[in-house]
Structure 1
C-alpha cells in the first residue's frame, strides 16, 4: 500500500499547468505535463487524495501493463497473459475504453473486443467463470491505448469522470463543465477576502465551485463513489483517513458571493446546489438582470459566462458585449472582470484591453477567457499574460 507508483491524470486542454501545480502542492513527485494530462508518482494514499481532492483532473489512471502488438491476435495474446485475477473477480463486471492510433488496427472498438475476449478466456480457463461487461457502474474500468505497435493498459481509479462532482441534482442542466468552472475560478486569482459576483449564473456551477474553494473543501466532497472503491485491494481505512483530513482542513469563515440570472429554473437549481454546503456563507442569489444591477459595485471580482452568439444576429451580440463593457466600466471600478466566450469577435467590443488571456475549451468549443482590470482612466502600459 505504501509503494510509490507512476500515475497519469487526464484533464481538459489548457488546464495542464493548473493540474501540475495542484499535484505538486499535494506533495506528489516527478510531476510532468503532457497534452491533456499530467504524469506523477505517489502511493495508494496519494492516489486516493488525487481522486478526492483534485479540482482539475478528469480521471486518475494507474498504468498497469505495457507491451507490443502488430495485429488483433497479437493483442489478444498479450492481454491474455496479464494477471487479471489480481484486479478483478470472475463474478465482477468491467468496461473498456479504447483509443487507437495505429496502422495495425482499424478500429478501437474491435481492439477493445479482443482485450475483453482475452480477459474472459483467461478467467474461464482458470475458474470456469468469466466476468461480464457493464457500461453502468462496472467494478473495473480499463483504458486501452494503442499507438502504432505500442500497447498501454491502465486501470481507472476514478470510475466515473471526476467532473461529475455529486452536488448536482439528477437530470439537471449543466452547460458549464465543473472542471472548467473550477479552472475559471482559479485563473481569476479570486480570493475569499474579496466579494465575487457571478451574473448570468445559469445552473450555479461557478457559484458552487467558488464556494467549495472558499471553504477549502475539494469539489469531490459530495461524490460518494470512486473506481478504486471496487478494486480488490481497496483500503477503506485509508480512504476514511483521507476524508477526515479533508474535513478537518475546512474553512468555515463566511465568504460573500453574489449571483444573479433571469432564468428562474436556473436560479432554483443554483439554490439547490448551494444549499448542500453544511455551514452558512453569505451567498446571495437573485432574480436580476446584469444590466439592471444597482450602481456602485466597486472592488468586486466579476466572472461572466455570457451568450456566445450562436442564436443571435452578429450586430446584436456585438451590442450586447459593448453594453456589458460599459456596465463594467461604469459600476465596477477598482475590481476585476473575467469573461469566457467562444466569440472572439464579440469580445473585442467589450472596450477594455485584457491583462490576461487564456484559451480554454467548453466541450468542443474553443473559448477565450480574458481578464480585465476595471479601472478609471487609462492603463495602456498594463502587461498582458497570455496562455
Structure 2
C-alpha cells in the first residue's frame, strides 16, 4: 500500500503533543502547523490514526490543490477533479468549508458552488446526480481556502473525533474529550502513579486518564468513521489494526479517583466510565473537594476543570481561594493542574503557578495552570535537594 499525505486537525496549543503522538504511532514526514499537523502514511495508518490519536479532531486526506479567487475559478477547480473516483451517482455527499480569504466571504456560498460543480459533472457524464445528505453522507468533502489557495480533502473521520462514543450523559459544562486528553498529556500524565480529578463532572477527564494509563485507543467505542463508506473500505485490514493496537494495552497498578459533590454528576460519571469499559480502573465517589485530604502516601497527579462562572453560578473569589487553601492544607506531594477561562479568579488561589499554558475551551481563552504542592515547605524541599547535590 502506498503512502499519501494526511492532515490531522487539533485544538490550539496541542500541535506539539499531536506531532509526538503521530511519531510514536509511526507516521512519516510530520510537520506542525497552526491547529494542525500534516504527515504521511498508508491506508492502514489512516485507520490507526483515527482509532488511536488522542488529540486529533479530524483526519483529512487532501486530494487536490488549486487557486481560487472568484466564483468561476472555484467552479473550474472543483470540476478539475474526477469525482467518480470517490463516489457514484447513487450515493450522497456533503461539503464542509473553512475560509480565511478576502476573495470569499461566505462559507455557505463556497459550499453551494462546490456542490454545483460536482453534481454538474455527474449530470454531464451519467445523466444522474448524487444527493446531498448532511447527516449520513457517503462522502464528506472538506474545502479549505486560505487567501487564493484552495485545498480539497476527503474527511476520513466523519463526526469530530472528540465524540468518542462513551459519553451518553453530560452535565451543564462538559469538557471536550480531545481537550481533556491534551491537558492530561501536557500535564505529563503517563499512568505511573495515583490520579485524582476532584471535580469530575461527567467523568471525561477520568476516562481519558484511564485510557492514557492503559494505552487503550480512545476511539474504540465510536460507532463509525467516514472511511467505512468509501469504495476501498477494507474491513479485514481495519480489524487487524484494532488487534495490533489492543496488543499494546498495558496493565495499571495505581488508582484513578474522581470526586464530585453533586449526586447527579456522580451517577452520570459512573455511567460514562462503565460505557467506556473502564470501571475496573476508575472509582468515583460523592465528596466535596474542599472537605477532603490526600488519601495516598505517594505522589499524586491531579487534573481538573473547575467552574468558570460562565454557565455555573459560583462565588468565584471564594471558590478559587478554597481551591488554593485545600491544596495547601490537604494535598502535600501533589502536582495539581487545572484549566480556567476565568483569568481574574486565578489571583485568588493564593499560590504561584509553576506553569501557565494558553489553551481555548470552546471559544473561551483559557489557561492550564500547574501548582506543585511539596511535602513540607518549598524551602525544606530546596534544602533537601542542596544536601543531595
Which interval holds the TM-score relative to the shorter structure? over 0.9
- Number of the residue aligned with 2:304: 304
Within-5 A mapping of 1:1-387: 2-169=1-168, 175-278=174-277, 281-294=280-293, 297-298=296-297, 299-310=299-310, 316-375=315-374, 376-378=376-378
Q: Is the Cα–Cα contact under 8 Å of residues 252 and 279 in structure 1 kept in the other structure?
A: no
- Indicate the SS of the match to 2:307: coil
How big is each residue's C-alpha offset from its partner over 1:103-160, in whole Å with a ceiling of 9 and x where there is no partner?
A: 3333221111111011111111222221111110211111111223322111100111
Q: Call closer, same or farther: CA 1:226–1:296 in 2, change over 3 Å.
A: closer
Secondary structure of the structure 2 residue equivalent to 1:286: strand
2:191/2:252 contact within 8 Å kept: no
- CA pair 141-254 structure 1, distance change in 2 beyond 3 A: same
Once the two structures are TM-superposed, the CA of residue 89 in structure 1 deviates from its matched residue by 1.6
Cα distance change on mapping 1:64 and 1:328 into 2, 3 Å:
same
- With over 3 angstroms needed to count, the CA separation of the structure-2 counterparts of 1:192 and 1:81, relative to structure 1, is closer
Give the secondary-structure state (helix, strand or coil) at the position aligned to 1:348.
helix
**Partners of 2:171 and 2:265 within 8 A in 1:** no
* Change over 3 Å in CA distance of 1:311–1:49 after alignment to 2: closer
Cα–Cα, structure 1 residues 114 and 225, in superposed 2: closer, same or farther, change >3 Å? same
C-alpha displacement of 1:251? 2.0
Report the Cα distance in structure 2 between the residues aligned to 1:174 and 1:125, rounded to whole angstroms: 50
What's the CA shift string for 1:84-106, capped at 9, x where partnerless? 00011211111111123333333
In structure 2, C-alpha distance between the alignment counterparts of 1:48 and 1:143, rounded to whole Å: 18
Deviation at 1:11, TM superposition (A): 0.3
Tell me how far apart the structure 1 counterparts of residues 100 and 353 of structure 2 sit (CA, whole Å): 39
Shift of 1:295: 5.6
Q: Distance in 1 between matches of 2:93 and 2:194?
A: 46
Which range moves more in the overlay, 273-282 or 122-131?
A: 273-282
Post-superposition shift, 1:297? 4.9
Change (3 A) 1:321 1:105: closer
TM-score of the pair, normalised by structure 2: 0.92
* Aligned residue pairs, count: 380
Quote the Cα distance in structure 2 between the aligned partners of 1:172 and 1:294.
25
Please give the alpha-carbon distance, in whole angstroms, between the structure 1 residues aligned to 2:216 and 2:162.
15
- The alpha-carbon distance between structure 1 residues 258 and 312, as it changes in their structure 2 partners (threshold 3 A), is closer
Pair 143,312 (structure 1): closer, same or farther in 2 beyond 3 Å: closer
* Pair 1:14–1:220, CA change in 2 (3 A): same
Give the stretch that moved more between structures: 223-232 or 350-359: 350-359
TM-score (norm 1): 0.92
In 2, Cα distance between the equivalents of 1:291 and 1:149? 54
Contact 2:293–2:331 under 8 Å retained in 1: no
CA distance in 2, matches of 1:334, 1:109: 53
- 67-76 or 55-64, larger mean C-alpha shift: 67-76
Q: Which residue of 2 aligns with 1:384?
A: none
CA contact (8 A) 1:60 1:156 kept: yes
Alignment partners' CA distance in 2, 1:105 and 1:226: 30
Q: Give the drift of 1:172.
A: 7.0
Displacement of 1:281: 2.6
CA distance in 1, matches of 2:27, 2:42: 9
Q: For residues 95 and 246 of structure 1, do their structure 2 counterparts lie closer, same or farther at Cα, with a shift above 3 Å needed?
A: same
Unmatched segments (≥5 aa) in structure 1? 382-387
- Residue 82 of structure 1 and its aligned partner are, at CA, apart by 1.1
Residues 331 and 170 of structure 1, relative CA distance in 2, 3 Å threshold: closer
- SS of residue in 1 equivalent to 2:378: coil
Q: Do the aligned residues in 2 keep the contact of 1:254 with 1:281 (CA within 8 Å)?
A: no
